[in-house]
A and B are shown apart, each in its own frame.
Chain A
Amino acid sequence: MLKILKYSFYDLLRSKWTLIYFLFFLMITEGLLYITGDEAKTIVGLLNVVVILCPLIATVFGTVNFYNSREFTELLLAQPLKRRDIFIGQYLGMTLSLSIGYFLGVLIPFVIHSLNYVVDYTVLSILLFVGVFLTFIFSALSFLISLITDNKIKGFGLSILTWLLLALVYDGMQLFILSMLDNYPLEKISLVMTFLNPIDLSRVLLMLKLDISALFGYTGAVFNKFFGSSLGFALSLSALLIWTVVPVYFINRISMKKDF
């Protein structure tokens, strides 16, 4: 598996899209730091970019990469390798190269600016961590969708639709449901709904650490009230882990049975 991971990683690390991704985050982070002159504000600003963009790029990149490397996958399948090693290796190679682009793009400007003012590394590492998690989750989802759907266009459409649902439509739906049911106690529904969406979870995770109650929103406030920040943090982290492991489990399972 490590061999496949290594080559897949090298291949994608050198692709211009990884570079563009890296440069994009470098510019946004540097720009925000420069304009606000304040690291906490920059992190909040970045959070809004990260929770939408990391999933989107992982989705697009994951799907395109899967379909583009289909013939190569076939070549690997003919080699003396376990199927699991081929697919998990490719998935990890792709996810790691994207994650590194994002990670360095955000980290480098902060490190440079840390000469001028104090950077709260706990919050920054959570931001970095959340972006990487989202990359892992959405790459896995798009990989899984591509694996199930042989038709490229359909697979791409489904992946984007998944992103659209979780990133944009979900919030609206949540608000709608909460407003429909506003005669009932809403805490539990709200909590469950947050757990069902990795993007919401990531947002809550960082908000809890930032301790900016004005930005908590309803779900954040409920989370804080119910679990306090440590327990809430641990719970949302575990939920994110589940969100990563479950699609990867299905990638493994489906790839074992599929004809190529």
Chain B
Amino acid sequence: MIQFQNIYKSFGKLEVLTGVSAEVSGGGITAILGPNGSGKTTLIKMLLGMVYPDKGEILFDGKPIKKEWHYKNNISYLPQIARFPENLTVTELINLIKDIRGGTPNEQRLIELFTLESHLGKKIKHLSGGTKQKVNIVLAMMYDNPVIVLDEPSTGLDPIALVRLKELILEEREKGKNILITTHIMSLVEDLSDEILFLLEGKVYFRGTIAELKEFAGEDNLEKSIAHLLEHKNAENIKV
């Protein structure tokens, strides 16, 4: 479904990605992990055509995405920061995305799930950070797309909303979708992910299940395993 082929990207002198290759297909949840600045968001943005690779190619359904935009109809994307035009109401914002994408979204169920009914008529600037993130989730998840990309989905959410979000993500996985998540919350990774893609120093340093990661690192806990990876990043047996 999605193929990253030998991707290079640098911003000025900062080399962020130095030859990332990976394939995501067949459904399931892949967590993209890595230290700050390891290029997680850059990789995701490249998939969405927001950042262009210096070298390498990204294929979606076997076709290069360069200069294309129709393929984005098949991707639901939750950006990291939820900021929208301040003077639009929540309903207007939902309508904007509906206008752009067309089709038949299922926003009503999500609005109920995240108890947003009472906020629909409010302007965005009057919403709290957490509520904005809920709106963000509704906008991203209201379409039934085969690929879902979530960049730090849990930011600012209260425990109830977080539980609902997890349920929602697992539900989507049951439908056989390909879901990519970046997060710093390890419990979220443990609860959700089928597979981990660990980026380090611009490359895919590890790829496998949580159990494999623990085994690879020789630790019994995910957080420790990741710390272990970071500390021993010069280890020779890089498994991809």
Contact = CB atoms under 8 A, between A and B. Distances in A.
A11 interface: yes
B8 interface: no
B23 interface: no
Interface string B43-71: 00100111110000000000000000111
A3 B96 contact: yes
B85 A71 contact: no
Interface stretch (A73-81, A123-131, A202-210, A218-226): A73-81
Contacts of B101: 79-80
Could you say which interface size class chain A belongs to?
Answer: 20 to 34
A81 B70 CA distance: 8
A10 interface: yes
A3 B52 contact: no
A78 B88 contact: no
Nearest to A260: B50
B75 A78 contact: yes
Could you say which interface size class chain B belongs to?
Answer: 20 to 34
Interface in A5-52: 7-8, 10-12, 14-15
A69 B79 CA distance: 14
A8 B92 CA distance: 11
B108 interface: no
Interface string A68-105: 11111011111111110000000000000000000000
Given A77-B49, A80-B70, A81-B69, A3 B79 contact: no
B66 to A, nearest CB: 12
A259 interface: yes
A79 B88 CA distance: 18
A70 B101 CA distance: 20
A71 B79 contact: yes
Nearest to A70: B83
A72 B136 CA distance: 11
Given A78-B48, A79-B101, A260-B50, 14 more contacts: A7-B99, A11-B87, A11-B88, A14-B87, A71-B79, A71-B83, A71-B84, A72-B83, A74-B50, A77-B48, A78-B50, A78-B77, A78-B79, A260-B51
5 tightest A-B contacts by CB? Answer: A71-B83, A11-B85, A78-B77, A80-B72, A259-B51
